[in-house]
Amino acid sequence: MSTAVAKLFMSGRSQAVRLPKSLRFEGEEVVARRFGNGVLLLPVQAPWQVMREALAEFEPGFVLEREQPEVQEREAWPR
């Protein structure tokens, strides 16, 4: 999976992204979807195929381990 820094610039009254050559898309349009404070760009044709291919690179049974806070014991809410 390729990662690079892209440049932001204004094109008229719209913000645009200049992608490095290694991250270029075919065609003239992409699907843009906001995720939190980020944006995911996918090809217009079969946009989720890229995600399926990326997920297929994980080994079967892969689990992302992260630190979790302990479960809090709380009293039930009175009825």
Q: How far apart are CA 1 and CA 32, in angstroms?
A: 19
Q: What is the mean pLDDT of residues 33-58?
A: 86
Percentage of the chain lying above the pLDDT 70 cut: 97
> Quick count: other Cβ atoms within 10 Å of Cβ 15?
9
> In the prediction, which pLDDT does 56 show?
87
> In the prediction, which pLDDT does 52 show?
86
DSSP-based helix, strand, coil % in the chain, nearest 5: 15, 30, 60
The C-alpha angle with vertex 12 and arms to 45 and 41, in degrees rounded to 5, equals: 25
Structure pTM?
A: 0.55
> In the prediction, which pLDDT does 1 show?
60
